[in-house]
């Protein structure tokens, strides 16, 4: 029952081959004082995403780019998430999302959800290259100054997508906008086996008076049905995830889960990082229902650690073996 519930939840909640395109030109030269002030403001905006939230996921296919494609009905779903800062070295910040839900018996369940890594003035970013492949792409030196990369990871800490951009204040609104990024299909689309097989997207984050929003502008693309060999657009999708501060749910369950499994997940992150550094990227098969080939086993090991069925050290050894098996 738990696996079925997990699959159902991730299908409902989950949100394209080219290097990331330029979002803007180089940041205008600034004084050392202005740089320091901008860096502090950027960090504050990123760190402000941590907290306890009621989340709404609003997904709408808005514009068909083909006469033979009909947009699917919009999907509105939601839940509760705990977002915690699990690493912060100054120019490197990691936010872990934990989903808190109730199963059919009204028991609280905690599911490790997505993770976002932020890096200041990065030399490269891990980007999706299509068909289960991610590559470290260099960011031109002139485009790094004053900018942050955001890398998003799946529930099992395998990669999902990465992009880079600048925090700015426009019209009184603080926002970060990514470069154009390629992404694999989210579970909600992958399980339908559509004609398209990737997204070309721009990602935006903005703080709000009650929390923050994550807006995704997704162009759903795939091989030309006419057989030209080209990648063509099918439909445009708008995704708006709204995070509103709300502590009226079982936050303690998420804290308990993370306390029991954080050392295991730190080792899993390290194993993925080592693989990516060794190969300047990674290849791992995409699985519609779970995201990646090793996800079910890696998530299951965490559950066993939390339940006391296996030691953290044994789980880490098993996880490293799984990653070595599925990643190349």
Spatial separation of the C-alpha atoms in residues 116 and 93, rounded to whole Å: 8
Overall average pLDDT of the 62-86 stretch: 97
> In the structure, how many helices (H) and strands (E) does the chain have?
7, 16
Residue 64, helix vs strand vs coil: strand
Overall average pLDDT of the 23-38 stretch: 86
* Residue 311: partners with Cβ closer than 8 Å, 6 or more residues away: 305
The pLDDT score that the predictor gives to residue 20 is: 42
Structure pTM?
0.92
**Segment among 16-20, 89-93, 148-152, 231-235 with least mean pLDDT:** 16-20
Given a cut of 50, whether residue 8 has pLDDT beyond it is no
Spatial separation of the C-alpha atoms in residues 274 and 276, rounded to whole Å: 5
CA atoms within 13 A on the CB side of 206: 18
- 300: tokens are 């299951």
Overall average pLDDT of the 229-239 stretch: 98
pLDDT digits (tens, 9 = 90+) for 160-194: 999 999 999 999 999 999 999 999 999 999 999 99
pLDDT digits (tens, 9 = 90+) for 297-309: 999 999 999 999 9
* Residue 144: partners with Cβ closer than 8 Å, 6 or more residues away: 121, 122, 123
- 198: tokens are 């990737």
Given a cut of 90, whether residue 210 has pLDDT beyond it is yes
C-alpha angle 199-203-207 in degrees, rounded to nearest 5: 155
pLDDT digits (tens, 9 = 90+) for 89-138: 999 999 999 999 988 778 899 999 999 999 999 999 999 999 999 999 99
Instruction: Label the pairing between strands 281-283 and 286-287.
Output: unpaired
Given a cut of 50, whether residue 146 has pLDDT beyond it is yes
The pLDDT score that the predictor gives to residue 184 is: 98
The pLDDT score that the predictor gives to residue 14 is: 41
The pLDDT score that the predictor gives to residue 23 is: 54
- What is the overall mean pLDDT for the chain? 93
Given a cut of 60, whether residue 19 has pLDDT beyond it is no
Query: Of 228, 314, 222, 328, nearest to 282 (Cα)?
Result: 328
Spatial separation of the C-alpha atoms in residues 286 and 293, rounded to whole Å: 6
pLDDT band at 15 (very low <50, low <70, confident <90, very high): very low
- 55: tokens are 């989340």
The pLDDT score that the predictor gives to residue 17 is: 38
* Residue 283: partners with Cβ closer than 8 Å, 6 or more residues away: 132, 133, 134, 327, 328
Residue 156, helix vs strand vs coil: coil
- 21: tokens are 């395109």
Specify whether the CB–CB gap between 254 and 98 falls below 8 A.
yes
> So where are the chain's domains?
2-249
Spatial separation of the C-alpha atoms in residues 92 and 320, rounded to whole Å: 24
Spatial separation of the C-alpha atoms in residues 291 and 153, rounded to whole Å: 10
The pLDDT score that the predictor gives to residue 28 is: 83
Spatial separation of the C-alpha atoms in residues 81 and 101, rounded to whole Å: 9
The pLDDT score that the predictor gives to residue 135 is: 98
Spatial separation of the C-alpha atoms in residues 324 and 306, rounded to whole Å: 23
């Amino acid at each position: 029952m738990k696996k079925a519930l997990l699959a159902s939840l991730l299908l409902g909640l989950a949100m394209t081959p080219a290097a990331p395109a330029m979002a803007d030109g180089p940041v205008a030269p600034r004084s050392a004082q202005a740089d320091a002030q901008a860096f502090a403001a950027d960090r504050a905006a990123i760190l402000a995403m941590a907290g306890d939230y009621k989340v709404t996921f609003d997904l709408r296919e808005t514009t068909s780019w083909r006469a033979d494609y009909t947009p699917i009905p919009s999907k509105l779903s939601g839940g509760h998430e705990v977002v915690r800062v699990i690493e912060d070295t100054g120019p490197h910040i990691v936010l872990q999302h934990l989903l808190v839900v109730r199963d059919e018996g009204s028991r609280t369940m905690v599911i490790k959800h997505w993770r976002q890594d932020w890096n200041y003035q990065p030399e490269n970013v891990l980007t999706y290259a299509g068909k289960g492949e991610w590559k470290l792409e260099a960011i031109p030196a002139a485009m790094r100054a004053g900018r942050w990369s955001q890398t998003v990871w799946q529930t099992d800490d395998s990669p999902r997508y990465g992009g880079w951009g600048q925090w700015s204040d426009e019209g009184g609104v603080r926002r970060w906008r990514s470069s154009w990024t390629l992404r694999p299909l989210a579970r909600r689309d992958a399980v339908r086996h559509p004609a398209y097989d990737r997204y070309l997207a721009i990602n935006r984050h903005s703080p709000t008076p009650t929390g923050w929003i994550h807006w995704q502008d997704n162009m759903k693309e795939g091989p030309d049905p006419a057989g030209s060999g080209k990648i063509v657009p099918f439909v445009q999708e708008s995704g708006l995830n709204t995070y509103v501060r709300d502590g009226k749910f079982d936050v303690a369950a998420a804290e308990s889960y993370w306390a029991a499994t954080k050392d295991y997940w730190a080792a899993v992150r390290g194993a993925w990082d080592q693989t990516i550094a060794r190969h300047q990227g990674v290849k791992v098969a995409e699985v519609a229902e779970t995201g990646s080939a090793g996800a079910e086993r890696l998530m299951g090991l965490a559950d066993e650690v939390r339940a006391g069925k296996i030691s953290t050290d044994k789980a880490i050894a098993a996880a490293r073996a799984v990653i070595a098996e599925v990643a190349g």
